[in-house]
Amino acid sequence: MLKVLSALRLSYLNSLKLTARRSNFSTECLFWFERPEFWPFEDPYWAIYWPGGQALSRYLLDNPGVSLGKSVLDLGCGCGASAIAAKLCGANRVVANDIDSVATLATCMNFKLNGLESPVCVTDDMIGSDPGNFDLILLGDMFYDEALSYNLHTWLEDCIKTHKSQVLIGDPGRAQFEELAFQSRLKKLAQFELPKPVREENYGLNCSSVWCYDLELTLK
């Protein structure tokens, strides 16, 4: 596993001109040109720097006070970019959660790449359970499935009501996200234009936005 991950090219997070660093899946990886059956793990969603995560990370770095001194949960952390951004901005405690254990390993490697100690990593499915008291919950590109979106809606409301957590969501405007039943409770905080290569990789999506889940807004 470590050999596979170490074969990933190290690069700057420059999709939205970020200042953190991470490993990404590239043509320099020995598996890039291999047939899918030779890949020894689950689909490597963690190896893609998704546009919602890009926007969320950029927003945190532009607004360091959002995570400064906070306890932060990065749900569905993938490569760990948002968790890294939060830690670089002074988060007191960061927990990286992903049900793929390879994703949490990649996250730890990317923390090390940025000169940071590894975060607490959790591979349990936290949706539906009490995650504990987090000041800030981050979700990038998590609203891609109708059933998952419904479960997230219920769970996030519980987190906000029980622990007063702030919830930030990064999404490039996928249809599943735009059709959310609780869309009226989301307040847009920032919008970023995606570079041409990212637009091409994501079927022409032009922008990625960061939203705050606000229960005080009326549910329509």
Sequential DSSP letters for 94-131: EEEE-S-HHHHHHHHHHHHHTT-PPPEEE-S--TTS--
Averaged over 34-43, what is the pLDDT? 60
Residue 13 has pLDDT above 80, yes or no: no
- Give the C-alpha separation, 110 to 84, whole Å: 8
pLDDT confidence of 161, banded at 50, 70, 90? very high
Least confident piece of the model among 106-110, 152-156, 180-184:
180-184
Domains of the chain: 2-213 (3.40.50.150)
User: What are the beta bridge partners of residue 93?
Assistant: 71
The pLDDT of residue 45: 63
- Could you report the per-residue pLDDT of 94-111, keeping only the tens digit for each? 999 999 998 999 899 989
pLDDT confidence of 128, banded at 50, 70, 90? very high
The pLDDT of residue 11: 35
The pLDDT of residue 24: 52
The pLDDT of residue 67: 98
Percent of the chain surpassing pLDDT 90: 54
- Long-range pairs of 129-132 with CB within 8 A, sequence gap ≥ 24: 130/158, 130/162, 131/73, 131/159, 132/163
Least confident piece of the model among 30-39, 125-134, 165-174:
30-39
Q: CA of 219: how far to CAs of 49, 104, 213, in Å?
A: 32, 35, 11
pLDDT confidence of 117, banded at 50, 70, 90? very high
More confident: 17 or 117 = 117
Residue 163 has pLDDT above 90, yes or no: yes
The pLDDT of residue 8: 35
In degrees to the nearest 10, what's the CA dihedral of 98, 28, 11, 189?
-50
Residue 19 has pLDDT above 80, yes or no: no
Residue 26 has pLDDT above 80, yes or no: no
- Give the C-alpha separation, 40 to 220, whole Å: 45
